Structure 1
Amino acid sequence: MPRNACRKLVRTLIAGGAAALLIHVGVASLLAADPVIKVPAGLPPVPFPADNPPTAEKIALGKQLYFDKRLSRDNTISCASCHDPAKGYSNADQFATGFKGQKGGRNSPTVLNAAYNNFQFWDGRAGSLEEQAVGPIANPIEMNLTLPEAVDRINKIPGYKEQFQKVFGSDATEDNIAKAIASYERTILCGDAPYDRFKAGDKKALSPAAERGRVLFFGRAACSSCHSGPNFTDNAFHNIGVGMDAKKPDEGRKTISKLGGDTGSFKTPTLRDIAKSGPYMHDGSLKTLKEVVEHYNKGGVPNEFLDEEIFKLNLTPQEVDDLVTFMKEGLTSSSYPDHKMPELPK
């Protein structure tokens, strides 16, 4: 089978993981009437694992943990430090700054609508929000606190100890810390954008430029080949050429899958509220959405593993601007989840 055909088949199977995910999370997670998680217009019900159903108390606990710098070794970094609500749940820098000023090699991915991801992190190394939630805590470059130490620290705080007993019927553990943070992260949702209102029948929801951009997005510019569905992502991995001209390119998904065809491939991010979460790409190398569109317009960076969906678009400067306008205006939520740090337990 030709390599491109094989890779397309693999991506189809990955995208099909949504069905498997729904089976895994249980029938209860499909109840659209669930009052605990409020879902904005344009988005489907939020899936969740059968062993971690959301409750208001669990979400509140997870929110406290998300904003609590005491989960880092030197009490200076929280989840929100690198995934800041005021910065599109990213951090506005090319790379995040972690323990003692250390920097990683990848841009902080947004937490917005991560509830719908089949995989977490740019390389998809975590298969759930629960698995993702505790990774940065133990990462020596990020928060640098071992999970046993984190559990011990949380259990020494009376306010947390009381809440964990109420929510989980036990003291804090690695497992229920992960479940609480993941439950909160599933509430970080953005939808109800002008595009959603346009799709629902309001033909005046988009400006003329945004409407021209929408036509290009779903047509000749082929953006929707990868940025598809309600969350504008196919939940698959693609090599679009970013960073492939470096002396030693980041191998991306290949480090996890061990498949040569995944070299330089990274997870397709959501485009919801994309205007808030720059800089862009897995390495944060593109500062503006216009730079992003121009990267695609030139056909990416040629390399052996470049996706077949990446080719020269030959867009005019006006068409480039219209695509940017569609993303900036058309995909910006009218009810952005601008969460603030809650009062933390003592």
Structure 2
Amino acid sequence: MRQLNVFREAGPGAGYRGGVIAICAVLLCCVEVTPAPSSQSLPAPALDRGEPITPIPAAPAIAPLKVALGEKLFGDPRLSHDDSRTCQDCHDVATNGATQKRHDVGPDGTELSLNTLTVFNSTLSFRLGWEGKFRTVETDIDASLESPHTMGSSAAEIAAKLDADPDMRDRFQAAYGRRPEGDDVIDALASFQRTLVTPGSRFDRWLQGDEAALSADQLDGYRLFKSLGCSACHQGVNVGGNLYERHGIFQPLASPEPKILRVPSLRNVATTPPYFHDGSAPTLDDAVRKMAQAQLNATLTDRQAKALVAFLNSLTGIYRGSPVGGSP
């Protein structure tokens, strides 16, 4: 779930329009928003509904040999210094692109400080990671390879390991025209990660004109999502991921640090419990209720919470012909 800062006018007649104007005024003063890298594909055409969310595009066209190599490396334990762990261990693309753990663990068994974000659709966000420290997928990958809390290795060390494997030498030669090099290791992983997009959600189908794609509860939830002001921070192709926000406006939401976070994407959110940067919300129902209290100073009714959860379930997309996480 995201961190939403909503300021609403007091008194009779105050509503969604006034709240959004106040939000926009604050965001213009404190948020830097930059265009997505040109290497990312643009959103698919959609019915002009005037909605704040746009459909996820198909995966970009990238050299198939590089993508195939990146996928193989994603599951290769030689990416870790001690050959004990893979990218797939914490970012399971066979399920939700992450894990079901509150905190994954590092090579020494110590829990990581932040909940693992899904790798699905990550390259559609303007920054990567909870704190948005990385501007490109390549810098994010390089940092993960070098961090002692994840792989504890380096691209150069990994390339040297792979160069000793005749099969991998052949794969790199076919994809890059040379033996394994550190930059090519990162590029192959980035090429694969850019294909991890999940178009075709029920909500995207509705955006593209399929009026029957959403249930009545899901439509009600979407209307509430907008009227409460959630879409002020969760909009665009990734339903978030394109600005920073402070959490715990009216009351504490989760762990107090980091205070400022990159607003996470809500794509496939129904498949990625637990929620928040510290993984402290075990269910989507719990998460939306806590968000309303902490960020809106509002207590949701059971009906409102149910409707919001129904809408969020409509954001589950398709990867390789199946819904992410096996959700209906």
Task: Please indicate the TM-score interval, normalised by the length of the shorter structure.
Answer: 0.7 to 0.9
Aligned to 2:286: 291
Q: Is the 8 A contact 1:191 1:272 kept in 2?
A: no
Q: Is the 8 A contact 2:43 2:55 kept in 1?
A: no
Q: How does 1:39-188 map to 2 (within 5 A)?
A: 42-44=55-57, 54-188=62-196
Deviation at 1:7, TM superposition (A): 5.4
Aligned to 1:237: 244
Q: Is the 8 A contact 1:213 1:323 kept in 2?
A: yes
Helix, strand or coil at the partner of 1:85? coil
Helix, strand or coil at the partner of 2:108? helix
Q: Is the 8 A contact 1:118 1:127 kept in 2?
A: yes
Change (3 A) 1:247 1:169: closer
- Bigger RCO of structures 1 and 2 (CA < 8 A, at least 6 apart): 2
Aligned to 2:48: none
Within 2, Cα distance between the matches of 1:163 and 1:157?
A: 10
Q: Is the 8 A contact 2:100 2:274 kept in 1?
A: yes
Change (3 A) 1:108 1:247: closer
Q: Is the 8 A contact 1:112 1:188 kept in 2?
A: yes
Deviation at 1:173, TM superposition (A): 2.0
Within 2, Cα distance between the matches of 1:72 and 1:64?
A: 14
1:321 paired with 2:306, answer: yes
Q: Deviations over 1:141-175 (max 9, x none)?
A: 21222333222112111111111122112222221
1:274 paired with 2:269, answer: yes
TM-score (norm 2): 0.80
Q: Which residues of structure 1 form unaligned runs of 5+?
A: 33-40, 48-52, 252-263, 301-309, 340-346
**Sequence identity (%):** 29
Helix, strand or coil at the partner of 2:131? coil
Aligned to 2:13: none
RMSD between superposed Cα atoms in Å: 2.9
Q: Deviations over 1:246-277 (max 9, x none)?
A: 998423xxxxxxxxxxxx11111211111111
Change (3 A) 1:31 1:164: farther
Helix, strand or coil at the partner of 2:116? coil
Helix, strand or coil at the partner of 1:100? coil
Deviation at 1:245, TM superposition (A): 5.3
Structure 2: which amino acid aligns with 1:96? D
Q: How does 1:327-338 map to 2 (within 5 A)?
A: 327-328=312-313, 330-335=314-319
Aligned to 2:257: 250
Q: Is the 8 A contact 2:253 2:290 kept in 1?
A: no
1:8 paired with 2:27, answer: yes
**Following superposition, which runs of at least 4 residues in structure 1 exceed 4 angstroms of deviation?**
4-7, 29-32, 244-248, 334-339
Out of 227, 231, 235, the position equivalent to 2:234 is 227
Deviation at 1:11, TM superposition (A): 5.4
- Number of residue pairs matched by the alignment: 292
Deviation at 1:318, TM superposition (A): 0.7
Deviation at 1:80, TM superposition (A): 0.8
